[in-house]
Each structure stands twice: as C-alpha cells, then as structure tokens.
Structure 1
Amino acid sequence: MKRLIIPVLFAFLLPVLSVAQPTGETIDKIVAIVGEKIIMLSDVETQYWQLVMQGEKQTDELRCSILEELMLQKMLLTQAENDSLDVSDDQVDGEIERRLRYFIAQLGSPEALEKYYNKSIPEIKDEFRDLIKDQLLVQQMQNKITENVSVSPAEVKKYFNSLSPDSIPFVDSELEIGQIVVIPEPSESDKQVIYQKISELRTRILKGESFEALARLYSEDPGSAKKGGELGMFSRGQMYPEFEGAAFSLKNPGDVSEIIETPAGYHVLQLIERKGDYINVRHILLIVKASPTDLYAGKMKLDSVYNQIVSGALTFAQASDKFNPKDYKGNGGLMMNPYGGSTKFKPSEIDATVFFTIDKLEAGSISKPVLFQTDDAKEGYRILYLKSRSTPHKATLGEDYNLITQYALDYKKRQALDKWIQSKKNSTYVKIMDDYKSCLFKYKWE
C-alpha cells in the first residue's frame, strides 16, 4: 500500500480546501480514536480532497493512508504531551507568521486571504494556533525519536547494495562552480551624488508631484518601479530593518518618509495603507554605485588574478583565499546551493548569467572577468570557475556518496520510527470505526 506523509504546510490550508469537496449532506462522525484523541471523518475528507486536487487518484486506499497518517500523528502528539515537550508561544507565532506570509504571497494580499477564509487575520491566527502548536510538537517528538540515529560507512554500503537496480536513484547533471569577485565600494562623493538626487525627488513629491509617477520614472527597484513603487502588503521581518522602521513609523496614507539608507541604497517611502500587522508602501530606490573608474580598476585587478591562476602561480582555492572578500572565501570560493546546502547545482538551479558563462568552460577551467550584479544590485566583476560537471547517471557509491548516505540515514530513521510505533501501539488505546476496518494498514492497530 502506498503511504503518504502529509506535509505540515498543507495542513494549514485544509479548512479552506474543504469548500472544494463535492456538495451533499455528510454527517461528521468519529472514525478513529488514539489514546484520548479523536479523528473525525471531516479530518480525513479535507485532506483527501486536497490531495485529489493535487493529482492523486480518488481511491479508498488514499483515504486509508490518510487515516493511518493521522493516527500516527495523534500517537506522536500524545507521547509529546506525556514527555512534557514544550513549544513556546514565540515558536508558534513565528510559524503562523511564516505560513501567513506564504499564503498572502500566493493570494496577493491579506485582504484576499481574509476573503478566502471569510475571517480576519487575527481570527485566522486564533483559529489555527492550537493546530500549529500540535504540528510543532509532533515534529519535536519525531526528532526526539530519531535524534541519535546515524549511519556508518559500512551501513551506507550495505544499504546501497540492498537496492534493486530499479530503486537506485537517478542523479541529474550537477555542477560545482566557484567565483572570485571584486565589488568596488562607492566613494563618499558617489554617495553624495545619489543622496542629492533622491533629495530632489523627495522635494518634488512634497510639493505635490505624484509619488507613483516619479517611482515609475526614476526608481531602480525593478520589481516595484513598474507598479509605481508599490510593494504590496508585508509585515515585520521581511524587509531591511531600516526600511521597516521608516515604513511602520508612517501614520497616515500619503505620508512621506525621510530619506533612509539600506544596503540596497537610498529610499523614500510613502504610506498607502495599514491593516493590522501589515503595511503597504510605495518607495523610490536609488542605488549607490561605484564610479566607472573604480569598476574598471576592479576588472584590471581580476585580470591579474586570472593570469596568476592560468599560469599555475596560484590554484583557484589559493586565489580565492587571497583575493576574495570575506563573505566569498568559504569552501575555497565555491558557491553554496541554497536549496540543497551543498556545493553542487543542477543546471536549473543556476542563475542564467552564470550558466551562460560556465556552460562554455571545460571542467577545471576559469572564465575571464565578467561584469555582474549582487543581489542588492551592486556592480562588480568576477572570475567564474567550473570545478566539475557530472553527466546524468544512476547513483554510484564512488560518485554520489553523500547522496546515498542521506538516503541511508532517512531509511534508518524510518526504521527507528517504525520500531517506536510498534512498541507504543500495543500500550495505546486504539479504536477504528467500522467504515475503516477493511483498510489494509501498514501497522496492525487492533
């Protein structure tokens, strides 16, 4: 039987998605009891229809899988409470805010979320507080059960050798990429020129010119300029602290901030509206850039570094340690993949400007200095290094040891969790109602 692990994130959506269920009179009722905790038919059905909407087939097996997953969660929650595991209010609040930001981004605004739920933001928070707390406790309990699980090299090898040929994972092409960068710092005179420009824009706004029109014409934030500088609703913790401080100090719609400086540059803000803990502002951003002279000097410096590497006077790692800024020195100058936490990237995970440069390189070679922009739009030059490029293949121990180790560790954690469940279910009261007694569960519950 196919087992489903219901993502915690999706559970937050379930009350909304229940409206997508087929219409008709269905009387809610208890379908299972685990310890002192009950599972209702509506709990199963809301998750069932959510997964159907995501592409799962409509089968009784799916309903059975969902019920068993809910029973496992109730057992973990009961043990978490028995072990006095604790989740702080700050943890719960932080998780609620994280999920709210996600759904607001998906729906477009807090108003859209409120309309979807037919509840205010504070009401949504109150309704799901206990649910989120339970989910965090379940996660804690699961982590506690598996916290001491590890795998030895012998176990990794044994796990890999036990896989059937069809079960060996397929590994896409992966690349390891390094960079050595020079990002010239703007001079005080460069900063003063930009400050004067934004001061003039602010004066024009205060004299009555349209903030929206000036943002479209002059703002250097590509995401918001075309929308007249409007950022959309956001809460604290999403922007630069200096930006949030200025935004949340504005009292009335139309109020204009003083000029503020963030790592991105100089800003002027205008309040559009406030709604509870959320705020919507327009802003004009002018980026402080180094002068063309300083930028060219950075390129010349990297030309020299390029020649030293190509001649063999320095390895790439040595050159990175000697010339890279502090934030770029780690891992011998290799980029870290934010998705996987390693130095390996799939082609689809690489920025297009990087890919077009390294795609022409042989493994082990470097590019000449190329112009680039940092995430906060500062300009600089960099040398790119293609350390390795693998071809798509079935995983092998030699080439993909770290990947196989993670698979083996996950497998051993599942075994530890299964062993814990087997021991606990015999001492835990479990009652499954008649409608679900015919399910082919993984565990023998009764």
Structure 2
Amino acid sequence: MKKLLIITSGLICLFLNTQAQNKNLDKIVAQLGNNIILLSELNQQYAQYLNSGNPEDDKVKCYFLQRLLTQKLLKQQAEIDSVYVEESDVDQEVDKRMRSQISRAGGQERLEQFLNRSVLQYKDEIRPEIKEQLIAYKMQQKITENVNVTPLEVKRYFETYKKDSLPDIPTEFEIGEIVLYPKLNKEEKQRAKDKIEALRLRVKAGEDFGFLAKSYSEDPGSAAEGGDLGFFDRAGMVKEFSAWSFKLKPGEMSPVFETEHGFHFLQVVERRGEQVNARHILIRPQTTPQSLERIKLQADTIYKNILDKKLPFAAAASLYSDNKDSQYNGGMLLYADEVTTRTTFIPADKVDPKVFLVVDTMHAGEVSKPVAFSSPETGKEGYKILYLKSKIAPHKGSLEQDYTKFKEKAQQEKVERSLSEWFEKRRENTYIKIDSEFTDCDELKIWNKPTTAKN
C-alpha cells in the first residue's frame, strides 16, 4: 500500500504573499465530503515553494494537493470525534511562525513591504489555515496514540534486513556535563542595570521602543523585531517576566527587573484573555575576570570531590549544573534525529567540536578537568566538567547494541502503516472529486478510486 504523507507541524509550510485572486476566476480543484479546496489555496502553497528558491515545476502542485486532501480528511474526522485545539494554541503557533518569517525577511518592516500589507492583517489571513493544520495534526496523533511495538515485533522488524543491508552505525558517545556560569555580585551587575535604566528613561521620554530594542537589546530572539515577543501565556516565560506581563495594562511599561537571563523592562502591547503580547529590552550583565576566577575555584572543588568519590557525577550535576536540560538527567546530554526520540547516544559528528576534542582522548568512565567555554547562544563564559560514560566504535547495526534504534524504526513503520490503513478506509467511504486538471498526478491516483460514499 502506497504510504501517505504524514502531516507534522514541522512539515506544514507557512503561506507566503501572493496577489489576491479574483474570486470570479477561482475554482474548486477538489471536494472531499463537505470540504472544498480552491485553486487559490493550491497557488498559495506553490508560491511558498517558489519563494523558497525552488525552480518552477507544475508537477509539485500534485504533492501540495495531496497534502491538502490529507489535511481535509483529518479535519473532517476531527469534527466527528470532537477534536479541537485551544484558540491560545493557535495564537502561539501564528506568532511563532510570524517571528520566523520576520527573522528571515530581516525585520518586520521588510516583511510588510514584501507582503504589501501589515503583519496584523497577514496574521488574520493565515490564522484559519494554521488552525486547520493544528487540528489535523492533533487528529493524527489521536489515530496513532495507542500504536506501540512489542519486543517480538522489533525482532521481526530487525529480521527484515538482509545481513549486508544492515545500517552502518557511526562512532557514538554518551556524554555528561556539569555547566557552571559565574554568579555576579551586586557591584558587577550594576553596570548592566544602569545601562538598561537609561534606556527605559529614554523610552519614557518619548524615544521609539522598537528602535531602541533593535539597537541595544541583547535578546537575539526578539531584538530584530523591536523586542516584540508575540503572544504568550503565563507558563511561556520565566516567572518574573510573566508576573509583570500580566500585571500591566496595554501601553503600560514595567520598571527594570531581573531574571535568570539578565535585566529587562517590558511594555504590554495587547491582552487577549490569558494571553499577552509584550515587547522588551534585555541587557545581560557581563562576566568579569574576578567572577570567572570564583567559578573556576568552585569547578575545581567539584571535580576533586568527584575524583575522590565524595560525590557521584550525577549528584553533582543535579546540585550544581546550570544546564537545566541535563541537570536532572544525571548531567547526560540527549540527542534526537528525525526518527529516534531522545537518546543519550550521540553520533560523533553531532558532538560539539570543542567537547569532542576533550572526550575523544578520554576513556569510558573518566571525568575531565574543568574546561573553559562560552555559550554559542549568548556568548556567556563559564566552565564545564565533562564525563564520558561510553564510547561505541563504528559497527553494523545489531539488535543487541542498537535495540532502541530499531525499536524506534519499527514504531515509525507501524505508525505509518496504521495511518495508511486509516486513510484507506476513510477514502473508501468519503465522497472525493478531483478536478480533471489533476487526473494525471501519480500522487492522487489513490484519491481518485471509486468510492461507495454518496455526495
């Protein structure tokens, strides 16, 4: 059975600008039950393809139409099963995609020039489509939520490989880390606090908030958008930030306050129930030589306690590490590819090059001396203590060594098979009509089969 496209939020493209089509020239290119797909919808998808730098190819429209049919069928079932998404989730996804578009365009003004409309207008246009995508994705999750594989099924899946076709597994590492950033004292923080307070007074005196955010904010995720963070709920930000965001009224500005990221002040733009749109400016206190020396002494002490077996590495990570992603995972780093969920086994070419230089010379079970580093995201300096739990040499895939990998692949195959069977049954009992312009599309032949459903 031919596999269908699996809809995921990461694969569903965001509409890009197209000239508004004359409704008199628009036409229905497909009907699925009571849902229709217009030529304008298809052309918007094709515009995304072209604007991403791809060559013209009308055959690609077959793929886009298949994807839209898949989405409509899932949406139709979602309506029957009362599967819905919260409006706040739709708002978050719209804002997330808009931030991505603004970043790629080089700023909000450039994006609005490209779209020939305001961002607010564009958000209203794409919202219904994004909502439908989220509903379709949630429906797909419901269809496959109880699909699991047994050890016997994993073994059978493994046995489908011929001996000479087993995948080559590259060198893999299991690595733990304790990340230590300097803790600045009051005097060391004061320079950053003075700087941001001066910026807040400039805004208060009438200077443009967005311009100052673009010029001075040290938040790489929002500075280019004039500090705009889009809509978020109370759980979407650190507690100090959320507290001020939901305390203020639209247009009001907070005093300077501190979070784990640095010093901020914010202005509320809009409030929608339990969602707020705010913009902010962030100034991060700068590390000093004295603070680095203090954290180096702490790192040396932790390292010695681990070597002397006074403190297990995992316990030290939970007590001292500033990496929240691994702190309560025994300090172990996790990796995820397009198939596997999250695993502690990291391919050699995916290990941070600076970390690789250290662990490649270590033996399993060893702990490194504190290593100076700087965060690639923020440039913040600190020290790491690295732990090499294991190093697995390159080998042919085996069920004993790579059970988790084959389990994930077997699970994925079973999920795809379950979805294909579900779609096959629904297509047989759903009225589907596709415009003759697309009858030659190979991707759509399974959708053109005669159905028992009546219009």
Q: Which one of the candidate residues 419, 443, 449 is aligned to 1:445? A: 449
Q: What's 2:140 paired with?
A: 142
- Contact conserved, 1:80 with 1:141, CA < 8 A, in 2? yes
Aligned residue in 2 for 1:431: 433
Residue 439 of structure 1 and its aligned partner are, at CA, apart by 3.3
Please report how far the alpha carbon of residue 314 of structure 1 lies from its aligned counterpart in structure 2 after TM superposition. 7.0
User: Any conservation in 1 of the 2:149–2:410 contact (CA below 8 Å)?
Assistant: yes
Residue 387 (structure 1) aligned to one of 386, 389, 397: 389
On the 8 A contact 2:173/2:347 being kept in 1, the answer is yes
The one-letter code of the counterpart of 1:395 is G
Contact kept in structure 2, 1:230 and 1:282, CA below 8 Å: no
Q: Which residue of 2 aligns with 1:302?
A: 302
Aligned to 1:410: 412
Identity of aligned residues (%): 32
CA distance in 1, matches of 2:259, 2:407: 42
Q: 1:198-213 residue pairs with structure 2 within 5 A?
A: 198-199=193-194, 202=197
Letter in 2 for 1:334: M
Which residue identity lines up with residue 148 of structure 2 in the other structure? S
Per-residue deviation, 1:35: 0.4
Deviation, structure 1 residue 411: 1.1
Q: What is the CA–CA distance in structure 1 between the aligned matches of 2:128 and 2:156, rounded to whole Å? A: 43
- The answer for the alignment partner of 1:22 in structure 2 is none
Question: How far apart are the structure 2 equivalents of 1:244 and 1:39?
Answer: 41
Kept in 2, the 8 Å contact 1:321–1:329? The answer is yes
Deviates more, 1:173-182 or 1:143-152: 173-182
Q: Deviations over 1:312-353 (max 9, x none)?
A: x87644665687689555333212347753223344544444
Residue 177 of structure 1 corresponds to which residue in structure 2? 175
What pairs up with 1:284-363 in 2 under 5 angstroms?
A: 284-287=283-286, 291=291, 294-308=294-308, 316-317=313-314, 320=317, 327=324, 329-337=327-335, 341-363=342-364
Offset of 1:150 from its aligned partner? 0.5
Return the offset for 1:391.
Answer: 4.5
Deviates more, 1:130-139 or 1:101-110: 101-110
Secondary structure of the residue that 1:361 maps to in structure 2? coil
> Which amino acid in structure 2 is aligned with residue 179 of structure 1?
E
Instruction: Give the superposition deviation at 1:152.
Output: 0.5
Give yes or no for contact 2:299–2:383 (8 Å, CA) kept in 1.
yes
1:274-293 mapped onto 2 (5 Å cutoff): 284-287=283-286, 291=291
3-state secondary structure, aligned to 1:385 = strand
Using the TM superposition, name which of 230-239 and 199-208 deviates more.
199-208
Q: Which has the higher helix share?
A: 1
CA distance 1:55–1:196, shift in 2 (3 Å): closer
Q: Choose 275-284 or 346-355, whichever is displaced more.
A: 275-284
RMSD, aligned α-carbons: 4.6
Summarize deviations over 1:274-322 as a string: whole Å, max 9, x none.
899877665543247674663343143134235325xxx8764466568
Contact 2:75–2:132 (8 Å) recurs in 1: yes
**In the alignment, does 2:266 pair up with 1:262?**
no
Letter in 2 for 1:149: V
The AA in structure 2 aligned to 1:366 is V
Residue 266 of structure 1 contacts residue 287 of structure 1 at CA under 8 Å; is this kept in 2? no
Structure 1 range deviating more: 75-84 or 194-203: 194-203
Q: Which residue of 1 aligns with 2:15?
A: 14
> For the residues of structure 1 that align with 2:85 and 2:396, how far apart are their CA atoms?
42
Check the 8 A contact 2:366/2:389 in 1, yes or no.
Answer: yes
Report the CA distance shift for 1:56/1:181 in structure 2 as closer, same or farther (over 3 A). closer
1:400 aligns with 2:395: no
1:80 is aligned to 78
Aligned to 1:235: 230
Structure 2 contact 196–256 (Cα < 8 Å) conserved: no
SS of structure 1 residue aligned to 2:79: helix
Q: Show structure 1 runs of 5+ residues with no match.
A: 20-25
Q: CA separation in 2, counterparts of 1:316 and 1:355? A: 19
Match of 1:23 in 2: none
CA distance in 2 between partners of 1:67 and 1:411 (Å): 24
- The 3-state SS of whatever aligns with 2:384 is strand
Q: Secondary structure at the match of 1:412?
A: helix
User: Which residue in 2 is equivalent to 1:129?
Assistant: 127
Matched residue type, 1:445: K
CA contact (8 A) 2:219 2:282 kept: no
Amino acid at match of 2:301: K
The one-letter amino acid of 2:230's match is S
Find the counterpart in structure 2 of residue 70 from structure 1.
68
State the number of aligned residues: 422
CA separation of 1:167/1:72 partners in 2, compared to 1, >3 Å: closer, same or farther? Answer: farther
> SS where residue 333 of structure 1 aligns?
coil
Corresponding residue of 2:101: 103
Contact 1:2 1:65 in 2 (8 A): no
What is the distance in 2 between the residues matched to 1:434 and 1:235? 43
Shift in Å at residue 429 of structure 1? 1.0
Contact map agreement 1:265 1:287 (CA 8 A) in 2: no
Taking the TM superposition and a 5 Å limit, the aligned residue runs for 1:18-57 are 18=18, 27-48=25-46, 50-51=48-49
The residue matched to 1:445 in structure 2 has which SS? coil
Give the conservation status (yes or no) of the 8 Å contact 1:368–1:383. yes
